[in-house]
Structure 1
């Protein structure tokens, strides 16, 4: 046994737990043995074993989304670490505190042609807030002090305005086995976690919010509490145009506009007195185009040091949580906005009713999604794949229960299954995903197969199978008929019943013309087949009919 190695890794793993990292997803490998065993020996650390590093990192992202706490991932040396890149980049853009631990060859085996060795130092430099290369374990007291210093520095990025991924690259020499007899070093002593709160000078925004006819745009706020924003809206009669990922559509607040995407595809000339943008950018292209074109003064409210200004650089950026901001401005004297809020409530109701009628008479992926939304309960998570599922959610999630989530940092199709499974470890999840995206992360399903019966994930997976990349039918590429199907349509012709059998899921199949029912129990893959051409026509029909309806009402 190597006492110096044992002291280092046990001290490191203890520090992880002390700073709030209570879950770790481990991908098996030799060089990562010391840390893997230390995590397994820790009396309170929850470990998950995932053989696919790419899916493992997204699984950790799902755990974070469900708990709002940092989660660690661990892999061996070499290309194993390269597979973390998609999830690390998603977490960086989404401000998720993923703790990336890559074990490495010792320094003397780097860049000399040794097996399973690549340059891992700084390999995520574009996508992490903090990174350190650790020293080889020895008996020097300075080594443990180094760990203390690094963990204190890294903890700055586990919460607050600079929250995001951190990377620890840790080299080990053989022998790799720690001494389990010393596990008493792992005694739990949690550190005090400081919550992020901030005040600002309200006078800087008085000149803007004292105007009439303001609008709040609630974007992607998957990890934020927006209670004070709702209170401000009620007092000041300010409408809130809510993205599906704002987590407030299901609240049925009278000032929350749930049909913004549909509205701004038709009504492009609405002129507000000011715009307050909260969180990251909305899903809707139509709303983003409206924000970009507006001459109204704009305030951007985000709890991050570096603002995400898309789709337009605001007049004022305030680094603060939404709750802290609206708590402080709610006391300002309200202006007369009764007619303004009534206008928004009226057109929102018109669009909701029209979408309800459309979903009952037209059969496509959108109406199938609508049927699924009707069956969700208040605390259910509906996880959306990128491309069409999140866009259909934006259109059809108008007055339902449930909480929509999605990986909208980098908007990729990587790891969607695994992220949803990670959330399903802690919450009841319905995943709605396209056939291409589902295929891209089918490996992730192994986590449920490997789980014991008492730890099966609370998940049902709805695969919208239009046999190809449905989103491209809505883009200019669709007009190039000679190349479209081969380059963009990309039909896979996969039998997803075989996937269900391989990973021990139950299987049900529907067509969009069927009455679609979600099983009460978890553990199902539900395939819904549709036609890409018919989906496109149905979406176009919805928009054309809505234009007629709104023009008649207004």
Structure 2
């Protein structure tokens, strides 16, 4: 704990930060401000903290979110009073929806200044509504309050953020002036109480390096009868499907792989699972979404769907599930959320996957790969060849080919972050499954387009590896000032921006037929490029004109090992036509195929 604590504010600030560190919470994202001075000084002077300073609170929050996605551990957001904490809101909602741990330390004015018209004072209590796992109003530091109180409060904060399913927590910290330690004001002058007397109850805590209150970990495992019922259902199923949504970490991936090898059912792996781009499973069907382009497959049905993890990106999967619900739709997830938009779920188990496998696997019957499963895998492999033929046989640069090339070129240990709208969809549909990618970051809780650069930067810091971000032009414009973070980031982030001069995804929707309003209200062309912005933030910049150019400049950017912007200029109308051509070719070549039986 820092020794320069000659005011009660700075002492409490040091207690709070020291206890966070003792709980192994060490990454702090700070936005400059005055009221948060006691917190910022304590963080800056602590030998074990890691910090990033981000002047834009919205970007700071997404940066913390990206770090937490990569590590599974909460980052701490620190800001001043007023609207600063309100700018965290989009990322807080994303974290709450996607069960990502996050800790918010917002500084606040003291109670006597509230509702008085005092400057920079708003109602910060309950600021995030139901989107936090827990919140607490920390009183102004006071010698009449035992020093154990801020310590046990921090211990509760950390526990609530980590406790499954995880999510954001809010500690609103009120401070009276003076906010910074001064030579004129010392603890000895305040109420006649010396620091050593006030801290006397913490002698044992000061003598060790562990948290004041230890919270035991809880693991969620269903009751034995539920596990037996699950095993019996899976054993009795003749035609089953394993669907894998978002997985939080490698341990969950390994648990799913172990289960998949036991079941030998076809595996439909979403891009968020980390299995879509690199799995060598003999039963994986990477292009399952494209199979549903064919009428024959749209009529396909199975007895049991076993869905693990979060929601899937594929809209066609949801449509198929709605029109051909299985006899049993089983969902296993580590949170209590329903995630059942088609209302087909017949059994839901809340469980930690790794701990569930131990009692489940011995009860499952071993089975081989059946003919109908092989037919599905072969159909997917046929689509793989068609995608290469259509996308890579031309020199002209195109959006789905960029996703495909990135999935193949990304080196081992290099992270991938996908922005919403078209980038994540193109990678989910057309990414090559033979790459090195195991962990994929994305913000699909609410699928917003803000904060993409900041989140990718946080992801890079959490993984401690370089990261490639695939992002659209509007999304980059939303978060343009986060390019400032990249130039001083310890890990490089390569930003591949698909610039199709507007909202490309809307071209795929029925509203595109409304010629009188589409461009100004949905397409929203901006006529901007990103060269000068890259130069302003002193980032390397590339603008390839062909697919061969892209391959070369992307390789160069990877070799340089510094943050860069690669701008890929495309045409929205041509992009729509290419997607349609590709899908028509898939239907044409696979149409004679019958439904696997």
TM-score when scaled to structure 1?
Answer: 0.94
- Corresponding residue of 2:268: 241
- Corresponding residue of 1:444: 482
129-138 vs 189-198, greater mean Cα deviation: 189-198
- Partner SS for 2:432: coil
Deviation at 1:179, TM superposition (A): 7.4
Q: Do the aligned partners of 1:512 and 1:528 also contact (CA within 8 Å) in 2?
A: no
* 2:517 equivalent to 1:483: yes
Deviation at 1:513, TM superposition (A): 5.3
Cα deviation per residue 1:508-537 (whole Å; 9 max; x = unaligned)?
102355541212223221111111000000
- Partner SS for 2:55: coil
Q: Are residues 466 and 374 of structure 1, via their aligned partners in 2, closer, same or farther at CA, if it must alter by over 3 Å?
A: same
- Partner SS for 1:256: coil
Q: Are residues 232 and 456 of structure 1, via their aligned partners in 2, closer, same or farther at CA, if it must alter by over 3 Å?
A: closer
Q: Do the aligned partners of 2:70 and 2:459 also contact (CA within 8 Å) in 1?
A: yes
Cα deviation per residue 1:205-264 (whole Å; 9 max; x = unaligned)?
134212111111101114352212212221221121000110112122212221122122
* 2:479 equivalent to 1:458: no
Cα deviation per residue 1:343-368 (whole Å; 9 max; x = unaligned)?
22212211112212122225421112
- 1:88-103 alignment to 2 at 5 Å? 88-103=92-107
Gaps of 5+ in 1: none
Of 379, 382, 403, 1:350 maps to: 382
Cα distance in 2 for partners of 1:490, 1:187 equals 59
Cα distance in 2 for partners of 1:196, 1:542 equals 48
* 2:258 equivalent to 1:231: yes
- Partner SS for 2:349: strand
TM-score when scaled to structure 2?
Answer: 0.87
Gaps of 5+ in 2: 187-194, 200-204
- Corresponding residue of 2:29: 25
Cα distance in 2 for partners of 1:12, 1:166 equals 15
517-526 vs 156-165, greater mean Cα deviation: 156-165
Q: Do the aligned partners of 2:64 and 2:455 also contact (CA within 8 Å) in 1?
A: yes
Q: Are residues 72 and 420 of structure 1, via their aligned partners in 2, closer, same or farther at CA, if it must alter by over 3 Å?
A: same
* 2:342 equivalent to 1:304: no
- Corresponding residue of 1:64: 68
Of 491, 495, 509, 2:543 maps to: 509
Q: Are residues 497 and 526 of structure 1, via their aligned partners in 2, closer, same or farther at CA, if it must alter by over 3 Å?
A: same
262-271 vs 98-107, greater mean Cα deviation: 262-271
- 1:39-438 alignment to 2 at 5 Å? 39-142=43-146, 144-178=147-181, 188-189=209-210, 194-200=216-222, 201=224, 202-210=227-235, 211-223=237-249, 225-249=252-276, 250-266=278-294, 267-296=297-326, 297-331=328-362, 332-334=364-366, 338-362=370-394, 363=396, 364-399=398-433, 400-402=435-437, 403-425=439-461, 426-438=464-476
Cα distance in 2 for partners of 1:265, 1:193 equals 50
Cα deviation per residue 1:415-436 (whole Å; 9 max; x = unaligned)?
0010011122322111111111
Q: Do the aligned partners of 1:497 and 1:507 also contact (CA within 8 Å) in 2?
A: yes
Cα distance in 2 for partners of 1:339, 1:10 equals 64
Q: Do the aligned partners of 1:2 and 1:179 also contact (CA within 8 Å) in 2?
A: yes
Q: Do the aligned partners of 1:226 and 1:323 also contact (CA within 8 Å) in 2?
A: no
Q: Do the aligned partners of 1:247 and 1:404 also contact (CA within 8 Å) in 2?
A: yes
Deviation at 1:178, TM superposition (A): 4.0
- Partner SS for 1:161: coil
148-157 vs 207-216, greater mean Cα deviation: 148-157
* 2:590 equivalent to 1:538: no
503-512 vs 202-211, greater mean Cα deviation: 202-211
Q: Are residues 196 and 535 of structure 1, via their aligned partners in 2, closer, same or farther at CA, if it must alter by over 3 Å?
A: farther
Deviation at 1:185, TM superposition (A): 6.4
Cα distance in 2 for partners of 1:330, 1:477 equals 49
Instruction: Give the total of aligned pairs.
Output: 549
Q: Are residues 205 and 410 of structure 1, via their aligned partners in 2, closer, same or farther at CA, if it must alter by over 3 Å?
A: same
Q: Do the aligned partners of 2:94 and 2:446 also contact (CA within 8 Å) in 1?
A: yes
Q: Are residues 337 and 506 of structure 1, via their aligned partners in 2, closer, same or farther at CA, if it must alter by over 3 Å?
A: closer
Cα distance in 2 for partners of 1:511, 1:447 equals 28
Q: Do the aligned partners of 2:133 and 2:161 also contact (CA within 8 Å) in 1?
A: no
Deviation at 1:284, TM superposition (A): 0.8
Cα distance in 2 for partners of 1:300, 1:140 equals 51
Deviation at 1:503, TM superposition (A): 0.5
Of 450, 467, 471, 2:501 maps to: 467
Q: Do the aligned partners of 1:418 and 1:441 also contact (CA within 8 Å) in 2?
A: yes
Cα distance in 1 for partners of 2:571, 2:145 equals 66
Q: Do the aligned partners of 1:110 and 1:119 also contact (CA within 8 Å) in 2?
A: yes
- Partner SS for 1:215: strand
Larger Rg: 2
Q: Do the aligned partners of 1:222 and 1:405 also contact (CA within 8 Å) in 2?
A: no
- Partner SS for 1:423: helix
Q: Are residues 273 and 328 of structure 1, via their aligned partners in 2, closer, same or farther at CA, if it must alter by over 3 Å?
A: farther
Cα distance in 1 for partners of 2:71, 2:422 equals 27
RMSD: 2.2
